[in-house]
A and B are shown apart, each in its own frame.
Chain A
């Protein structure tokens, strides 16, 4: 199937719930809503011809200027049979950082979602073991959110010559 056929297939099923469709560097990218994401992944998984049954990656993102849709989760799915890749994005507000888990469909989503929770504080509803995976458990903030100022650019105490470089 070409990208155009995939887009027609998906818009025929989901209509306006799939938007912002474009193809940067030839990678079919589309945005959907929280309510549709698991259904969409399931649909692509069970699709007769597409057979997109491999979750390459799942990660979070934070756009603080995107008011009302600050947080996002991005899914990269891949059909190993047809060699087709699709990138699916979902955005939701920072005040309501919840999204249904994909662990029911992809076992590999377990650790990826834990990492996304660890760094962005996104709650995956239905996840069997949602706790930090890389950082220490005592950490009370989400380090990858863009809420922290950059390091003071004028500090001189860690310049190379202090370390013999």
Chain B
């Protein structure tokens, strides 16, 4: 027998032949275990992510079997590497082309804060152009750290209310970035 681990069922009521729980929990569970990342890799952190995709660290274990190299169907924008000011609008465009619900990870010091490149040509953190959910520290972060960041996103996705994206607060956040 293989030792495949199954996701635990969410809390709910079970009886003979039925199981009742809330939509939030079921959909959250499904989203969290089928995240499709869109890797936006510009430099060394991207190489580290390739190691994360490889068989040893195997990001596929988290339901991220197929990294989507297109905004179509992608849930999770992973920005890894230095983003120059010239690249900023492209990052924003990719984010705008993704459908809701969508999450963003800034991997590594450069994407999070500009890193060591405190200079006129480098964007000092991608949160200046798109909202960010999880920041992964490190220069570059090890694959374990990237997996930890992904697990944090899973946690967010699992516990997110279905109406969060329609909330006033979320609309305000997006409009502060001039998105939509």
Write out the residue numbers on chain B whose beta carbons fall within 8 Å of the beta carbon of A139.
Answer: 120
Tell me the nearest residue of chain B to A164, going by C-beta.
Answer: B138
Check if B30 is an interface residue, CB within 8 A of chain A: no
Residue from A158, A163, A164, A165 in contact with B118 in the complex, judged by beta carbons closer than 8 Å: A158
Is A163 a contact partner of B121 (Cβ separation < 8 A)?
A: no
**Cα separation A165 to B141 with both chains bound (whole Å):** 10
CB of A63, distance to nearest CB on chain B (Å): 21
Given contacts A135-B86, A136-B85, A136-B86, contact A164 B121 (CB under 8 A): no
Q: List A residues 135-165 near B (Cβ within 8 Å).
A: 135-136, 139, 143, 151, 158, 162-165
Check if B115 is an interface residue, CB within 8 A of chain A: yes
**Cα separation A162 to B86 with both chains bound (whole Å):** 26
Check if B149 is an interface residue, CB within 8 A of chain A: no
Is B139 a contact partner of A164 (Cβ separation < 8 A)?
A: yes
**Cα separation A136 to B121 with both chains bound (whole Å):** 8
Given contacts A135-B121, A158-B118, contact A165 B86 (CB under 8 A): no
**Cα separation A155 to B138 with both chains bound (whole Å):** 20
Known: A134-B121, A164-B138. 11 other contacts (CB 8 A): A135-B85, A135-B121, A136-B86, A139-B120, A143-B120, A158-B115, A158-B116, A163-B109, A163-B115, A164-B137, A164-B141
**Which DSSP category, helix, strand, loop or mixed, fits chain A's interface?**
loop
What are 7 inter-chain pairs, A to B, with CB distance below 8 A?
A136-B86, A158-B115, A158-B116, A158-B118, A163-B109, A163-B138, A164-B139
Q: 7 closest A-B pairs (Cβ-Cβ)? A: A163-B139, A143-B120, A163-B109, A164-B138, A136-B85, A136-B86, A165-B139
**Cα separation A158 to B115 with both chains bound (whole Å):** 7
Number of A-B contacts (CB under 8 A): 26
Number of chain A interface residues as a range: 10 to 19
CB of A20, distance to nearest CB on chain B (Å): 32
Give B residues with C-beta under 8 Å from A.
Answer: 85-86, 109, 115-116, 118, 120-121, 137-139, 141
CB of B173, distance to nearest CB on chain A (Å): 25
Write out the residue numbers on chain B whose beta carbons fall within 8 Å of the beta carbon of A136.
Answer: 85-86
Write out the residue numbers on chain B whose beta carbons fall within 8 Å of the beta carbon of A163.
Answer: 109, 115-116, 137-139
CB of A152, distance to nearest CB on chain B (Å): 10
Tell me the nearest residue of chain A to B114, going by C-beta.
Answer: A158
**Cα separation A151 to B115 with both chains bound (whole Å):** 15
Tell me the nearest residue of chain A to B113, going by C-beta.
Answer: A158
Q: List A residues 110-135 near B (Cβ within 8 Å).
A: 134-135
Write out the residue numbers on chain B whose beta carbons fall within 8 Å of the beta carbon of A165.
Answer: 139
Write out the residue numbers on chain A whose beta carbons fall within 8 Å of the beta carbon of B86.
Answer: 135-136
